[in-house]
Each structure stands twice: as structure tokens, then as C-alpha cells.
Amino acid sequence: MINLILFGPPGSGKGTQASYISNLLDVNSISTGDLFRDNLANGTELGKLAQGYMERGEYVPDKVTINMIMGWINEPENNCGFVLDGFPRTIKQAEELDSRLDNEGIDKVVFFDVSFDELVDRLTGRFVCRECQRPYHGIYAPPMKEKTCDSCGGNLYQRDDDKIEVVKNRLKVYEESTGPVLRHYEQENKLQSIDASRSIELVRAELTSLIQRICS
């Protein structure tokens, strides 16, 4: 059994690698976003509680989030291990997770390390078709014709969340809130950083090697 946490800022590529790792290990993975959506869609008590906070524009308390996470972890199909994508996000969540897992614990926390400037380039280069919602990127996946969708000919636009000032603020907030979490796992000798500025294939190769070492 292996329990992993994937950690990294928006644009670091951890979400892309989460499904690969879960398939490699034959375990399930979950992000807090997916977990919230599942609980809301299924009308669970925790989902209704979280929805109330979100509708009021308030932060969902750590206790609600951790109870959702633990409910998922304790499902029978996750008894053989799991991959948490982007959780915990705060030191309180990390400490509560540690105490609730008891002897099982977290085996390794993989941090997807990318420079601030690279993250800004990745996130601000994203565009979406207004008509069919096909995503593009100015550097990594540009359209054949500027500002025009290859699929339907629709106009490409940039979401407000992907504009440079918004992106820079998101990254700064992320760094401030998650820095203590990284130090927490580093002190426990569980933190493993990888250079996520490289291609998907190279990052995947390093992840494969890391997991093989953990499992051996």
C-alpha cells in the first residue's frame, strides 16, 4: 500500500500527472475540487454544508474539507492506497490529516517545482473558444490562425482567471498558504521535489523512477 500527496502551484502539471500515477499504482486519486463537486452532485450532508458556505462567498472550513477527504479515504476501494491531488493546502489541514490517518500515514509528498515566471507564462498563455470551449495555449498549443478556433472557427478569448495580474496574485496567495505545509513535510523527511518545468514525458519518467524506489 502506498499513500501519496501531489503538491504544486496552479500550472505546475500535477493534475496532468495524477491520473498517470494512480493508474501506475492501481489506486484512486482525488482533488478537493472533484471531491466538492461529487458531494454537491450527490447531495451529501457535507456537500450541502459546503454549498452553504460557498453560496455566501465564504471559505469552506477545514473541518468540512477534511471530513470529506477522510470519508473518501475510508471507502473500501481506497484501502490499498491513494493519491491526493493538491490536498492539504494549509498547515491545519496537514496536521489534521496526519492525526486522522493514525498509523497509515503519508509515504511521500511530491512537489512539482516550477519557477514563478514559468508558471505565469503557462497560465497567462491559455485561451478558450467561445463557441466549442476548445482550449489553446499561445506557446504550447497555438491555433493555426491567430485568435480563431481550428475546430469551429469561433473566436478565442482569455478567461479573467488567466489574466496576468489575477494569475500573479493567485500564485502569491498559493505560496503564502502552502509554504508552511511544505516545510511540515520536509521536517518529516517525506518531501520529494521534482523539476516540473520539463516536458510531460520527462516529468513522468522521473515520477515512475521515484515510485519504483518508494515501492521497493
Active site residue 56: no
Active site residue 213: no
CA distances from 51 to 66, 68, 73, 85, 91 (A): 15, 13, 21, 21, 23
Report CA 138 to chain centroid distance, whole Å. Answer: 23
DSSP designation for 114: -
Active site residue 198: no
Q: Could you give the CA distance from residue 8 to residue 15 in angstroms, rounded to a whole number? A: 9
Instruction: Choose, from 89, 92, 134, 204, the residue flagged as catalytic.
Output: 89
**Nearest to residue 62, comparing CAs of 29, 35, 88, 31?**
88
Contact (CB, 8 A) for 86 and 14: yes
Instruction: Choose, from 37, 130, 159, 163, the residue flagged as catalytic.
Output: 159
How many Cα atoms sit within 13 Å of 174 on the Cβ side?
16
CA distances from 161 to 167, 178, 195 (A): 7, 20, 25
Instruction: Choose, from 170, 190, 198, 204, the residue flagged as catalytic.
Output: 170
DSSP designation for 81: E
Active site residue 130: no
Active site residue 170: yes
Residues marked active site are found at 14, 89, 126, 159, 170
